Amino acid sequence: MQHLEEQIAHLTRTIDELNEVVTQQQRDIDRLLRQVQMLLDREAQREAEGGGGVIIGDERPPHY
């Protein structure tokens, strides 16, 4: 019986530690999503203003 209680205590501690990791990862994901959205908004604004100085993919630079 004591062995089972020790296992339960160990598993409970492991679950708590994993929960902390998952919580921190979610915070990081939320922060990164906000940053990506900010960059997308900034790029959309730049394109709307006629800037668009970033070459994406197969676009040829303006001097071709």
Please name the residue that has the structure tokens 């994406």.
56
For the residues 8-27, what does the mean pLDDT come to?
99
For the residues 1-29, what does the mean pLDDT come to?
98
Per DSSP, 59 falls in state P
State the Cα–Cα distance between residues 40 and 56, nearest whole angstrom: 13
Q: What percent of the chain has pLDDT over 90?
A: 72
Stated pTM of the model: 0.65
Distance of CA 63 to the CA centre of its chain: 36
For the residues 54-63, what does the mean pLDDT come to?
66
Q: What are phi and psi of 35, to 5 degrees?
A: -65, -45
How confident is the model at residue 10, as a pLDDT?
Answer: 98
